[in-house]
Structure 1
Amino acid sequence: MPEFNAPLRDMRFVLHEVFQGPALWARLPALAASVDGDTADAILEEAAKITGQLIAPLNRSGDEEGVHFAQGRVTTAQGFVQAWQTYREGGWVGLAGNPEYGGLGMPKMLAVQFEEMLYAANCSFSLYSALSAGCCLAIDAHASDALKATYLPALYSGQWAGTMCLTEPHAGTDLGIIRSKAEPQADGSYRVSGTKIFITGGDQNLTENIVHLVLAKLPDAPAGAKGISLFLVPKRLVGEDGSLGETNAVSCGSIEHKMGIKASATCVMNFDGAVGYLVGEPNRGLAAMFTMMNYERLSIGIQGIGCAEASYQNAARYARDRLQSRAATGPLASDKVADPIIVHADVRRMLLSMRALTEGGRAFATYVGLQLDIAKYAEQPEEREAAQRLVALLTPVAKAFFTDMGLESCVLGQQVFGGHGYIREWGQEQLVRDVRIAQIYEGTNGIQALDLLGRKVVADGGQSLALFANEIRSFCETRPPLCEPLLHALAQLESVSQWVREQATGDANAVGAASVEYLHLFGYVAYAYMWSRMAATARERREQEPAFYEAKLATATFYVERLLPRVLSLQASIRAGSAPLYQLPAELF
Structure 2
Amino acid sequence: MTFRAPVRDLAFALSTVGHDALVKRAFPELDADTISAVLEAAGGFTTDVLAPLNRRGDLDGAKIENGVVRAAPGFAEAYRQFAEQGWNSLAADPQFGGQGLPKAMELAVFEMVHAANMAFGLCPMLTQAAVEALTLHGTEKQKRLVLPKLVSGEWTGAMVLTEPQAGTDLAALSARAEPDGDGGYRLYGQKIFITWGDHDATDNICHLVLARLPDAPPGVKGISLFLTSKHLLDDEGNLGARNDFRPASIEHKLGIHGSPTCVMLYEGAKAELVGEPNQGLAHMFVMMNAARLQVGVQGVAIAERAFQQALAFSQERRQGRAAWAADGAIWGHPDVRRMLTLSKAKIEAARGICLTTGVLADIARLADTEEERAAARARQELLTPIAKAWSTDVGVEVASLGVQVHGGMGFIEETGAAQHYRDARIAPIYEGTNGVQALDLVGRKVPMAGGAVMRELCAEMQVTAQTLADTAELAAVGRRLAAGVGALERATEWVLANGGTAAQAASTPYLKLAGDVIGGWFLGRQALAAAGASDPWLQSKPALARFYAAQVLAGAPGLADSVCEGAGDLEHVSPEALAG
Q: TM-score, normalised by structure 2?
A: 0.96
Task: Output the CA distance in 2 between the equivalents of 1:574 and 1:551.
Answer: 33
Which digits, 9 at most, give the CA deviation of each residue in 1:277-300, with x for residues without a partner? 111111111111000100100111
Task: Output the CA distance in 2 between the equivalents of 1:180 and 1:20.
Answer: 43
> How much has 1:186 moved relative to structure 2?
2.9
Alignment of structure 1 residues 224-243 onto 2, 5 Å:
224-243=219-238
Aligned mate of 1:32, from 28, 31, 38: 28
SS of equivalent to 1:253: strand
1:19 corresponding residue in structure 2: 17
> How much has 1:212 moved relative to structure 2?
0.1
Which digits, 9 at most, give the CA deviation of each residue in 1:31-83, with x for residues without a partner? 323x2221111110110011000000000011000111122110011111111
> How much has 1:145 moved relative to structure 2?
1.3
Task: Output the CA distance in 2 between the equivalents of 1:116 and 1:579.
Answer: 39
Name the CA shift for 1:551/1:132 in 2 (closer, same or farther; >3 Å). same
Q: Does 1:86 align with 2:81?
A: yes
> How much has 1:20 moved relative to structure 2?
5.0
Task: Output the CA distance in 2 between the equivalents of 1:65 and 1:566.
Answer: 43
Q: Does 1:513 align with 2:502?
A: no
Task: Output the CA distance in 1 between the equivalents of 2:258 and 2:509.
Answer: 33
Q: What is the aligned length?
A: 572
Which digits, 9 at most, give the CA deviation of each residue in 1:196-232, with x for residues without a partner? 1100011000010000000011111111111111000
Task: Output the CA distance in 1 between the equivalents of 2:341 and 2:36.
Answer: 27
Alpha carbons 1:368, 1:394 under 8 Å: kept: yes
Task: Output the CA distance in 2 between the equivalents of 1:23 and 1:511.
Answer: 37
Alignment of structure 1 residues 456-535 onto 2, 5 Å:
456-458=445-447, 460-476=449-465, 478=467, 479=470, 481=474, 482-504=477-499, 508-535=500-527
Q: Does 1:555 align with 2:541?
A: no
Alpha carbons 1:390, 1:467 under 8 Å: kept: no
Name the CA shift for 1:572/1:23 in 2 (closer, same or farther; >3 Å). closer
2:8 corresponding residue in structure 1: 9
> How much has 1:588 moved relative to structure 2?
4.4
- Over the matched positions of the two proteins, sequence identity in percent amounts to 44
> How much has 1:586 moved relative to structure 2?
4.3
1:105 corresponding residue in structure 2: 100
> How much has 1:521 moved relative to structure 2?
0.3
2:346 corresponding residue in structure 1: 357
2:293 corresponding residue in structure 1: 298
Which digits, 9 at most, give the CA deviation of each residue in 1:361-381, with x for residues without a partner? 112211111111101111211
Alignment of structure 1 residues 140-151 onto 2, 5 Å:
140-151=135-146
Task: Output the CA distance in 1 between the equivalents of 2:265 and 2:481.
Answer: 51
Which digits, 9 at most, give the CA deviation of each residue in 1:160-205, with x for residues without a partner? 1000000111011111121011112332211111111100011000
2:131 corresponding residue in structure 1: 136
2:442 corresponding residue in structure 1: 453
Which range is displaced more, 399-408 or 487-496? 487-496
List runs of 5+ in structure 1 lacking aligned partners.
Answer: none
> How much has 1:579 moved relative to structure 2?
2.9
Alignment of structure 1 residues 531-542 onto 2, 5 Å:
531-540=523-532, 542=533
> How much has 1:477 moved relative to structure 2?
5.4
Q: Which amino acid in 2 is paired with 1:275?
A: K
Which digits, 9 at most, give the CA deviation of each residue in 1:482-504, with x for residues without a partner? 33321211111111121233233
> How much has 1:571 moved relative to structure 2?
2.0
Task: Output the CA distance in 1 between the equivalents of 2:485 and 2:447.
Answer: 17
Aligned mate of 2:61, from 62, 66, 69: 66
> How much has 1:562 moved relative to structure 2?
1.2
SS of equivalent to 2:270: strand
Q: Which amino acid in 1 is paired with 2:5?
A: A
Q: Which amino acid in 1 is paired with 2:526?
A: M
Q: Which amino acid in 1 is paired with 2:111?
A: E
SS of equivalent to 1:173: coil
> How much has 1:509 moved relative to structure 2?
1.8
Q: TM-score, normalised by structure 1?
A: 0.95
2:558 corresponding residue in structure 1: 569
Alignment of structure 1 residues 144-223 onto 2, 5 Å:
144-223=139-218
2:569 corresponding residue in structure 1: 580
SS of equivalent to 1:47: helix
Which range is displaced more, 317-326 or 465-474? 465-474
1:44 corresponding residue in structure 2: 39
SS of equivalent to 1:394: helix
Alignment of structure 1 residues 342-491 onto 2, 5 Å:
342-458=331-447, 460-476=449-465, 478=467, 479=470, 481=474, 482-491=477-486
Name the CA shift for 1:48/1:522 in 2 (closer, same or farther; >3 Å). same
Q: Which amino acid in 2 is paired with 1:22?
A: D
Q: Which amino acid in 2 is paired with 1:23?
A: A
Task: Output the CA distance in 1 between the equivalents of 2:466 and 2:547.
Answer: 23
List runs of 5+ in structure 2 lacking aligned partners.
Answer: none
> How much has 1:461 moved relative to structure 2?
2.6
> How much has 1:470 moved relative to structure 2?
2.7
2:275 corresponding residue in structure 1: 280
SS of equivalent to 2:347: helix
Task: Output the CA distance in 2 between the equivalents of 1:475 and 1:554.
Answer: 17
Which range is displaced more, 295-304 or 471-480? 471-480
SS of equivalent to 2:89: coil
Task: Output the CA distance in 2 between the equivalents of 1:491 and 1:5.
Answer: 38
Alpha carbons 1:136, 1:156 under 8 Å: kept: yes
Task: Output the CA distance in 2 between the equivalents of 1:136 and 1:245.
Answer: 22
Alpha carbons 2:462, 2:485 under 8 Å: kept: no
1:248 corresponding residue in structure 2: 243
Alpha carbons 1:95, 1:103 under 8 Å: kept: yes
SS of equivalent to 2:208: strand
Q: Which amino acid in 2 is paired with 1:522?
A: A
Alpha carbons 1:189, 1:278 under 8 Å: kept: yes
Which range is displaced more, 253-262 or 319-328? 319-328
Alignment of structure 1 residues 252-271 onto 2, 5 Å:
252-271=247-266
Which range is displaced more, 559-568 or 53-62? 559-568
Q: Which amino acid in 2 is paired with 1:234?
A: S
Alpha carbons 2:464, 2:521 under 8 Å: kept: no
Q: Which amino acid in 2 is paired with 1:146?
A: K
Alpha carbons 1:22, 1:36 under 8 Å: kept: no
Task: Output the CA distance in 1 between the equivalents of 2:460 and 2:267.
Answer: 52
Q: Which amino acid in 2 is paired with 1:32?
A: P
Q: Which amino acid in 1 is paired with 2:515?
A: G
Which digits, 9 at most, give the CA deviation of each residue in 1:520-540, with x for residues without a partner? 000001011101111110115
SS of equivalent to 2:267: strand
SS of equivalent to 1:196: strand
Task: Output the CA distance in 2 between the equivalents of 1:282 and 1:498.
Answer: 39
